Amino acid sequence: MEVTAVSSRPDHNVSKHPTDAIRLLTGLGVEGDAHCGETVKHRSRVAKNPDQPNLRQVHLIHSELHEELATGGFTVGPGQMGENVTTRGIDLLGLPRGTRLRLGSEAVVELTGLRNPCSQLDGLQKGLMAATLGRDSEGNLVRKAGVMGVVISGGTVRPGDAIEVDLPAGRPRPLERV
């Protein structure tokens, strides 16, 4: 399990810029990123209540999603769907709420929920939003556009960093849309 890419962007845009490293700040998010802060920064959520806690400080997507999308004719690279951290070898969507991911030697991100894909993805490529949604065997909606988390312990994260998973104690609670 490893980090394959890291990305950030200081202004609000669906895509972020891949970079050599990002710095996670405890309780805030990615230093210099538009979504960094204690309170929500996502524009539609700010419009509803700017004082709500920021449960979307860090966005993680599994690189396997990029590969799945490629089989459907989409070309998507790291950061293009707004993720700060692109991973490989970890079932992000299958982890329970409260899971802590150690990224590299210092940073720890606690998962808060699933990213709800938005129509801005269709601005990248027509049909991309629908391609990040699916149905399970019972017909329930499956959101595949990654997971969101908060920074528990800050540190620098780089491509190639190992990822360690620490599952929460008690009964697992599935990730829900945040």
Query: Residue 8 has what pLDDT?
Result: 97
Q: pLDDT of 91-112, one tens digit each?
A: 999 999 999 999 999 999 999 9
- The number of domains in the chain is 1
Model confidence at 83: pLDDT above 80: yes
Query: Residue 92 has what pLDDT?
Result: 97
Q: Which of 59, 76, 55, 54 minimizes the C-alpha distance to 6? A: 59
Which of 76-80, 116-120, 133-137, 155-159 comes out lowest in average pLDDT?
A: 116-120
- Does residue 149 belong to any structural domain of this protein? yes
- Does residue 87 belong to any structural domain of this protein? yes
* Amino acid found at 104: G
- Does residue 177 belong to any structural domain of this protein? no
Query: Residue 46 has what pLDDT?
Result: 65
- Does residue 178 belong to any structural domain of this protein? no
The token duo for 57 is 């400080």
**Mean predicted confidence (pLDDT) in 49-70:** 92
Query: Residue 118 has what pLDDT?
Result: 83
Q: pLDDT of 5-59, one tens digit each?
A: 999 999 988 899 999 999 999 999 999 999 999 988 876 776 777 788 999 999 9
Query: Residue 67 has what pLDDT?
Result: 96
Give the residue numbers spanning the domain of 10: 2-166
CATH number for the domain harbouring residue 16 = 2.40.33.20
Q: How far apart are CA 142 and CA 137, in angstroms?
A: 10
